[in-house]
Chains A and B, each alone.
Chain A
Amino acid sequence: MIEEKRSNELRITSIQHFCVGDGPGIRTTVFLAGCNMRCLWCHNPEAVIEDIFKYSVLNVSESELFEEICEDKMFFENSGGGVTFSGGEPVMQAIQLKRILKKCKTESISTAIETAGNYALKILDSILDYIDLIIWDCKAVSREVHIKCTGVSNEQILENLKVISSKNKTLWVRIPVVWNVNITEEEMNHMGKYLTRIMPERVELMPYHKMGISKYDQYNLEYRLRDIEPPTNEQLKLCCNILKQYDINATYE
């Protein structure tokens, strides 16, 4: 499933400079194309649905990409920031990703990946040394909910998480909150219980928003959550309060 293409090119959908949410400090976020999950609420279909890659994906060489990352080095240094690889699932292009991460480390650029964690342990192992921060997108902890929402089971993911937490890596967790889809009071409790074991440095709730719908329309794709509304403030507060019972401080915007 993971691409083993021996190429010097990466498939990306965009590079965003001056990102201030995807990790500490000022960051450049690179969105890599390709994903092995199909979340119902996905708001980056252009990086996920292969049928439309011909419209949305750019091929850039590793050196080009690395050069662009280096552009903002001064800003990284002064703010404690760096580069974040997101997507899609960035680890889908593990070989190229690893080389870029390695180069970043030699240039003392701090690195982060935003990942759902759905791949073999040995792949994770191969890149973990070059990553300073892992932002784990936790869609669900219960197996059934995970399958329902993403199309895949989460056994491998939870296995990987255990390894990460044992390796003394900084870990942030992001939870998409799509009320009554992946999140219910019950699921929130599952998450709380699970998260106390891996002790992330930071937990962020990401309220579902409808801004992705226009992309589906643009590419003529079917969108399955049209009737779902963003969570209310009360629902978000409730989620926070549940996590608090497990001594987890979650934030949301």
Chain B
Amino acid sequence: MFISYKEQVCQVLQNHVMDSFEIAIYPFGYRGQQVKQILNTEFQIKETYLVDNYYTGEIPVLKVKEFLKVLSEGMLILLCCENDEIKKQIRDTLSEIPESQIIDVFPKHNIYVSSWKDKSIEGSTLEDMEKLYHGLKKLVFEEDVTVYSLIKPYEKNFLMNQFEIYCVQQIKNRSLQRAYSLLLAVLLKELQVEDGEYLVGKAAYRQINNTYPTDVYEEIYYLEKNSQINSKEAFLIKEAYEMRLFTRFPGGHTVPGYEMILKSGINRKLSEIKNKYIEEREEKEKKLFYESQLIVIRALQELIKRYADASYRSSSANKKLLRVARNCEHIAYKAPRSFEQALQLLWLSHELMILEGNIKGISLGRMDQYLYPFYKHDFDQNVLNKEFARKLIYVFWKKLSFDRRALSFQNVTIGGEKNEKSKDGNPLTILFLEAQMETRANQPMLSLRTNKFTSKKIWDKALEVISTGMGMPALFNDEMIIQAKMRCGISQEDAENYSIVGCVEPAIGGKEYSHTEGLRLNVAKLLELMFFEGQCPVTGKKYALEKVCKLKEYSDFDSFYHQFKRELFSLIQKACHFLNQADLSYGENWPAPYMSLFMEETLKKGRDVARKGTKYSNLSINFAGMANVVNSLIAVKIIVYEKKLISLSEVPMILSENFEGYKEIEKEICDIPKYGNNKKIVDELMQELTELIISAADQGTINEGRLFQTGFYTVVLHAEMGKYMLASFDGRKERTALASSLSPTQGTDIRGPLAVFQSVCKTPMNKMSNGMVLDLRFSPDFFTDEKKERLKESILTYFSMGGMEVQLNVVDQETLNQAQLYPDKYRNLLVRVSGFSTYFVELEKEVQDEIILRYMNTEL
């Protein structure tokens, strides 16, 4: 349960591949691709053959028949799949090969089973681990630090691995397992105290092993193991995933209530937990939870104390570190007294959050709001000036962007004040905007909440930052988001305090844990499946449609459209069911004790965040391919049923041929009105489908009255999902990206941004509780003073018409073309892709192409 897939695969490979000179990977599905990558990168070995009868990608792959001809003695065949049926088939095919030559890389029953044998393993014994465990316990309950002497003799990674194995075997409770792992990780963490910095700390990518599943397959494995789904369901879910009918990235994606610890300080929190621990000691489940809380808060305290020590030790060489050391010493126990100390505690709390494995989308909430009291205090006391504040913020910003593997989708929310504090608003809002402009890093993601009190100064500064082309800050409309949040059971007061998680998902900091990346359905894929009677034409996988119907039986558009809506509704119901089951599995297998420390009510309820310990714990479901589906349906309506140019049963053929040989049809499709041009016929369909989706998700309501929040943003998944699709009937070519988020299909919004705004505003954004994205692109000349004002007015109008979010990319086409040709010269070119800013040159070519295609909104 503690070894990640990668390590598992590495272990298996280690034992075999080194001595073989011919290696075949068979089959070459998702697992095969994983193994190939590990083999190529970790072992620097190139496989000799890839074998698969059904592979449709670009790499040369042998069919089984051909492979049997080249089989040779001594060749190693890596069996890369999990399904026992398939394994059996393959073994039958290879029946003439000696068993020893076939290596099962994913032996079901051995995965996650410990390698702990005979109570001792390479230099450590069970007794050693027991001693260590008791040492840690003593640290937690008695502040006894003798545990440090116990860990000294060991190599760090080795000890960590051994202890985690011990935890899994000896400590039955998952929260405690993870909490103790985290504590040991803190003690073992390599600290770097940098010269000349005002804040210490650095996030490390290496997390505790006991972390979240690495992919959907691993999750399904657990769901099946825990009997939350049966093997048939598991199979169907895998099939659906393999054709990318859905994707998911659970875990993380939360705004922890860091604010709480800044206010109370560690000691006070610690004593609150202790009291609870004593009060509730009769209730076993709760007691164990409180114990996990004690362990993780000690872990945080120990981390800070270690940084204090390390800074003291280095302070003779660097006087600045003395100041850092004193700050750390203070915040290890008490609430921060200054802006500097607050930032320090905030960072170290965040650093440990990442160590727990919550790597994706851990966002910092309304930083300008909760740090303001510290800033103001220091300012009033004359111990802080703007310049120093600026320096500190830059240092903090750099920490957030230090390691791109560990730190991603960390959103910082600014603005959104409820009244006019002063003419210029909160000075930190401006300072954060400036930090963003100065560092030009892709982290954090900056989100600006706007409402009628947003000052001109903030608007101007925000547009200035946007005009430098980094796609940040994204602009949010408070009114719509607050309405959307209140609709899923969140009180007005809490809703007004929303901040942004990950890309664009509104959440209540410290109170809401809602798996915002829980699931994303590809609506365009569903339409494709209807054209192909449930069989994915790209992967050959099957999806069980509600009603498999010959296309010629749809006598009119309404009957086809009606069936599509039924399929959509049923797909959403299935997805909600799966999400619910997966969520139960998370509660069981992956509690997050450290994250729970920062969420209100977990302490009161005595429950982990993953077990609905937070005040709000809805689930989330997102949708991709919206514009493609709407445009395709309209095309079917007009071309098949109105103009009768072809019959519906010819559509699959045209799509399979990628429009080759059907130029006239392609031209006809091109001329049909598209979503995003303020055309009633298309926009009304979009409105109907978004309403349908939201109400279907509403009806997926699950146990304890938790609601599904719907989101219409796609990150980069619209490109990934598009790769698994043929051409679509809206004119999109095979394997190219789908439309991004709720934006129009790339290059089809030919009537400019105002028409886009009006089209989008037909959809019920005030019900999209998990957020939406509208991307627009402008050339830099749009940001001269006068035009900038117009841009702002157009955005304000969009918001007044019911718009929720918009993000603006500012680049010219030429720059992008150049960047694609000469990536080395454009490493710092930031662009905004559906919800997040990233470096253009790091994107896949498909996504780059899509950005270039997106219509340029520039005056002619």
List residues of A whose CB falls within 8 A of some B CB. 16-21, 25-26, 71-72, 74-75, 77-79, 81, 253
Contacts and interface: CB of A to CB of B under 8 A. Distances in A.
B665 interface: no
B860 interface: yes
A175 B784 CA distance: 21
A72 B859 contact: no
B855 to A, nearest CB: 12
A19 B797 contact: no
B670 interface: no
B589 interface: no
A75 B859 contact: no
Contact of B755 (A17, A26, A77, A253): A17
A78 B796 contact: yes
Interface of B: 678, 751-755, 758, 782, 784, 786-787, 790-791, 793-794, 796-797, 800-801, 857, 859-860
21 contacts: A16-B752, A18-B752, A18-B753, A18-B794, A18-B859, A20-B782, A20-B786, A20-B790, A20-B859, A21-B859, A25-B793, A26-B790, A26-B794, A26-B797, A72-B754, A75-B793, A75-B794, A75-B797, A78-B796, A78-B800, A79-B797
A1 to B, nearest CB: 29
Given A16-B859, A16-B860, A18-B752, A26 B793 contact: yes
A253 B781 CA distance: 10
A16 B859 CA distance: 8
A17 B860 contact: no
Contacts of A16: 752, 859-860
Chain B at the A interface: SS class: helix
Nearest 6 interchain pairs by C-beta: A79-B793, A20-B790, A78-B797, A17-B752, A20-B787, A75-B797
B859 A26 contact: no
A7 to B, nearest CB: 26
A78 B796 CA distance: 8
A79 B859 CA distance: 17
A74 B801 contact: yes
Given A26-B790, A71-B758, A17 B797 contact: no
Nearest to A26: B790
Contact of A75 (B754, B784, B786): B754
Contacts of A77: 797
Nearest to A29: B859
B675 to A, nearest CB: 16
A74 B798 CA distance: 9
Contact of B857 (A18, A25, A71, A75): A18
A24 to B, nearest CB: 9
B814 to A, nearest CB: 15
B317 to A, nearest CB: 54
A71 B796 CA distance: 16
A72 B757 CA distance: 10
A20 B792 CA distance: 12
Chain B CB within 10 Å, residue with most, of A18, A19, A26: A18
A17 B784 contact: no
B793 A71 contact: no
A74 B800 contact: yes
Contacts of A25: 790, 793
B756 to A, nearest CB: 10
B601 to A, nearest CB: 42
A19 B858 CA distance: 9
Given A26-B754, A71-B678, A72-B754, A78 B793 contact: yes
Nearest to A78: B797
A74 B797 contact: yes
Given A17-B754, A18-B857, A78-B793, 17 more contacts: A16-B752, A16-B860, A17-B755, A18-B752, A18-B753, A18-B754, A18-B790, A18-B794, A20-B782, A20-B786, A21-B859, A25-B790, A25-B793, A26-B794, A71-B758, A78-B800, A81-B790
A242 B859 CA distance: 30
Contacts of A81: 790, 793
A19 B794 CA distance: 11
A103 B787 CA distance: 28
A222 B462 CA distance: 47
B755 A71 contact: yes
Nearest to B799: A78
Contacts of A19: 859
A19 B860 CA distance: 9
A18 B754 CA distance: 7
A25 B796 CA distance: 13
Chain B CB within 10 Å, residue with most, of A20, A79, A253: A20
Nearest to A75: B797
B681 to A, nearest CB: 15
Contacts of A21: 787, 859
Contacts of B754: 17-18, 26, 71-72, 75
A21 B787 CA distance: 8
Contacts of B800: 74, 78
A20 to B, nearest CB: 4
Contacts of A253: 784
A18 B749 CA distance: 13
A26 B786 CA distance: 11
Contacts of B796: 78
A16 B857 CA distance: 11
Nearest to B786: A20
A16 B755 CA distance: 11
Nearest to B757: A75
B596 to A, nearest CB: 45
B856 to A, nearest CB: 12
A231 B475 CA distance: 39
B786 A17 contact: no
Contacts of B860: 16
B172 to A, nearest CB: 62
Contact of B790 (A71, A74, A79): A79
Contacts of B786: 20
A71 B762 CA distance: 13
Contacts of B787: 20-21
Contacts of A17: 751-752, 754-755
Contacts of B751: 17
Contacts of B752: 16-18
A19 B859 CA distance: 7
Contacts of B790: 18, 20, 25-26, 79, 81
Contacts of A74: 797, 800-801
Contacts of B753: 18
Contacts of B797: 26, 74-75, 77-79
A26 B789 CA distance: 10
A81 B797 CA distance: 12
A239 B782 CA distance: 25
A87 to B, nearest CB: 15
A81 B792 CA distance: 13
B523 to A, nearest CB: 28
A135 to B, nearest CB: 15
Nearest to B758: A71
A48 to B, nearest CB: 17
Nearest to A14: B860
B808 to A, nearest CB: 13
Contacts of B755: 17, 71
B671 to A, nearest CB: 15
A26 B787 CA distance: 9
Contacts of B791: 20
A35 to B, nearest CB: 19
Chain A CB within 10 Å, residue with most, of B754, B755, B796, B801: B754
A19 B790 CA distance: 9
A253 B783 CA distance: 13
Nearest to B859: A19
Nearest to B793: A79
A12 to B, nearest CB: 15
A232 B191 CA distance: 59
Nearest to B751: A17
B331 to A, nearest CB: 47
